[in-house]
A and B are shown apart, each in its own frame.
Chain A
Amino acid sequence: AQSVTQLDSQVPVFEEAPVELRCNYSSSVSVYLFWYVQYPNQGLQLLLKYLSGSTLVKGINGFEAEFNKSQTSFHLRKPSVHISDTAEYFCAVSDSDDSWGKFQFGAGTQVVVTP
């Protein structure tokens, strides 16, 4: 079974500074990778996904992530954060077979943006 590790439980960052959230997953033949964001009192929203193709994927709100198969990583980055990016971010992986959708989520990284 897949496992996902988000190395940082909380990341404080100043407004307009860059941020990187780290995600590593256990090895598998073929996986789909996702980053979801959860704002306070809201449901999970998809930021971006990697299914196949280019290893650099761009998502909403200026976020991007790079799939690195050899390092089994899918780190999320944003070059300049806003106060509104304060939220919890979850990395998720799904095996790309018929049981996809049975996501394994990381424990989450809380991003706190301060002025």
Chain B
Amino acid sequence: DTGVSQDPRHKITKRGQNVTFRCDPISEHNRLYWYRQTLGQGPEFLTYFQNEAQLEKSRLLSDRFSAERPKGSFSTLEIQRTEQGDSAMYLCASSLTGDANTGELFFGEGSRLTVL
């Protein structure tokens, strides 16, 4: 399967614990995005990378959230000191840029976080 993969698919944690999600984009895609989706809402943009550079962060991304893409391939999203309000589906997407850009984001199946 050469699509976007995310791990873990489900994570249940207690309030105050740290969690980390991993995203492996489509291999030739140089842009990688993180979105968050809460129940009954559409996905909300969190941040994106072009290669290893983090180009933009949403105001939704508090100081407890950090994302990295160290080698321009996979990315991690860490949430420190989780709160119940962090419970959501975290979606990763990837795309090409430049002349190869088809205008489309390719999404993974998401990592569902439940904070007790």
Contacts and interface: CB of A to CB of B under 8 A. Distances in A.
Interface of A: 4, 32, 34, 36, 41-46, 49, 51, 90, 92, 99-108
B43 A103 contact: yes
A105 B43 contact: yes
A21 to B, nearest CB: 13
Contacts of B25: none
A4 B33 CA distance: 19
Given A49-B104, A51-B103, A43 B110 contact: yes
Contacts of B103: 32, 34, 49, 51, 100
Nearest to B3: A43
Contacts of B48: 101-102
A104 B35 CA distance: 10
Interface string B75-116: 000000000000000010101000001011111111000000
B42 A105 contact: yes
Contacts of A100: 101, 103
A92 B45 CA distance: 11
B41 to A, nearest CB: 6
Contact of A108 (B42, B56, B93, B101): B42
Contacts of A90: 42-43
Interface string B48-70: 10000001100000000000000
Given A32-B103, A49-B103, A51-B103, A103 B108 contact: no
Nearest to B112: A41
A43 B45 contact: no
Given A42-B109, A43-B91, A44-B91, A102 B45 contact: yes
Contact of B109 (A36, A43, A51, A103): A43
Given A43-B108, A43-B109, A49-B103, A103 B56 contact: no
Given A43-B91, A99-B56, A101-B31, A106 B42 contact: yes
